[in-house]
Structures are given as structure tokens and as C-alpha cells.
Amino acid sequence: MLKRWKSFYRQKETCHSELRKSLETLGLKECIVNVAPAKYLYKVELLRIAFNLLMRDVLPFIDALGMNPKQITKYKASSPELERGSFGLLRQLWKRTPKSDTHRRRDFCLALRNIGYEGLARSVYLDYEPSQSELNSTVSVLWNAERLQICTRLELGEDDQAACLGTEGQVNLVEVVRRWTNQIRPVPYHYRREIGTCLRAAGRQDVADQILAGRKGKMQADENVLRNICRRLEADKINNLCKLLDLKRGKSLEENITSVIKGINKWINDFDPSSWKSKLAVTQHKLKHRKKINNNMFSLGCHELAEEIMHLENGILSE
């Protein structure tokens, strides 16, 4: 039916957005992921693309050797070596696309598809991955027994499940979401659909419906998610973050982490593109500035934090 509708739809370039609007009236907007921002590509996105390119070739060898894929994920980090290899080549490819073109991301994805990476191209063109904040805030209503079911249904390994359990058997959902979203998997991967399926199987149709309906109102950064990310960063990186975000530093590492969390929350809360739409030049300037800060955060070695902020901002842009 949908294939026939698409073949008769006159403005084919807008059929995706029209179908998404129709699904929104049914409370199923996120069954179809949104198109990612057209003109900008963050460094942290290039890292994800480069890592997926590497995994496409390396993962069969990992499986054949009986290795744990997590032994490879530790290399998904910011370092001077990233300027070479796949990451550097992707940066050069992105720089070759016309900067003023509103279809810059599309052209980049077409280039990926033309060299044989169709699935990866689709995952870059469409915004498949939600923020950890969104997922955590939605599933936080689950009882502990239901959380244990979700851990199993999300196919977390025994080591991951053990790391998500507190001393009294309480499931740490923040850690569950982080470990699940950081797993190596084929692309594209529809995160909301997959976790929605697990929630239905666990008897929580109501929460699954919330996942597929999408956010109601502006998405907030989850303080527990941010703290979980920041506590895995070295002290010097937290200090550099304070400097980058122009924040006052405290006397201890924990005070500086709290300062970074407050600064990021303000950064997200101040992000209101709807107030800029009357002046396109102002909008583009503000988005470019925010992308620059995010890229600098990535260059400091805080790629997971930069990725979380990027997902939050992309979610706001898609509203």
C-alpha cells in the first residue's frame, strides 16, 4: 500500500515528512525516523561512520576468532590518529561538498552509497539514534522486575547485566541504556522500534507507545545520564570542559562535574530554534557556533558527551 502511495505521490521529496505527520496523528510518529539536519555533520558523527566502516570489515574476523567485540570498542575514542585513516578520509569527503548547499548531508550520503555503503548512508541521512536522556526518561517508570526483563530482552551479555546491578539487586537503567546504545550492531538500527518491541514483550505496552509516539514538548538533558558520562572522564578533561563552556571551577572533581552538568543543561535549555526562524542568517550563525563548540568538545576527548548533546539538539530541531 505504501509503495503504491509513494509511486503516485507528486512531491516525492516530501513524502517522508508527510507520512511522518500522518503517523503522528496516530501516536506512531517515531515508527519512521526523522531526516537528520541537512547542512551540518558533527565530528562525532564522522567518528561513528568511520567506526562502522571499520566494523563492517573487522567484525567477521572478531567472530571467527571468538573475541568479544567490546575489546574493539575501546578504540572508538578521540586521538591524534583519528585525523588519519577512515576518519580523516571522511572529513576530506565532507569538506568537498558545497558548504552553502542545503542538501549537503544528502550529497555526502549519496557518495557513501555510490561506493557500496548503502546501509551506512541511510543511517547517516536519517536520525535513527535517540539520546540516552530520552530513552532513560521514558523507561524510568519501570519496576525493578520489569527492568530485569528488559536487560535480558535487549540481549545484554552476562558481564553487562552484572555491571548494571546494584548491591541490592536494583537495576541501574542509566547504565543499561549506555551499554545497549554502545553495542556494535549492523546499520541502520532502529533503536526506538527495538526497545519498543522489548517493552511490549515485557508487558509494558504503555511505555512502548510512548517510545513510538516520540517526545511531548522539549527534550531535557537527563542529569543522571550526564553525570554517568562525566564520571568516566579524567579530571583534566573535566577541567578543559569547564574552560570550553566558560564555567567556574570548584575545589573538587565532583564540584567541577556538577558545574559541567549545569552548564550543559543551560546550553540545551537555551537552544530554541523557533525563536530564530524569522531571521535565517541568525539561525545559521547560531547553529554553526553550537556545532563548533560540540566539535571542540569532541577534540578534547569527550566524544560520548558530544554525541549526547548532538542527539538532544537534533531532537529539538526535528520538532
**Angstrom distance (rounded) from CA 192 to CA 189:** 9
Model pTM?
Answer: 0.83
**Angstrom distance (rounded) from CA 39 to CA 13:** 17
Q: With H, G, I as helix, E, B as strand and everything else as coil, classify residue 124.
A: helix
Angle at CA 159, nearest 5°, toward 74 and 45? 35
Helix 303-317 vs helix 223-230: crossing angle, to nearest 10: 150
Beta bridge partners of 181: none
**Cβ pair 36, 314 in contact under 8 A:** yes
Domain ranges of the chain: 43-125, 132-187+194-213, 223-317
- Please state the length of the chain: 319
Q: With H, G, I as helix, E, B as strand and everything else as coil, classify residue 104.
A: helix
Per-residue pLDDT of the chain (319 residues; tens, 9 = 90+): 555 655 555 555 556 666 566 656 656 556 666 777 777 788 888 888 888 777 777 777 777 777 776 666 666 655 555 556 677 777 777 777 776 666 788 888 888 888 888 888 888 888 888 889 989 988 888 999 999 999 888 888 888 888 899 878 899 999 999 999 888 777 788 888 889 889 988 899 888 888 877 665 556 889 999 999 999 999 999 999 999 999 999 889 999 999 999 999 988 888 776 665 555 555 666 778 888 999 999 989 899 999 999 988 887 766 5
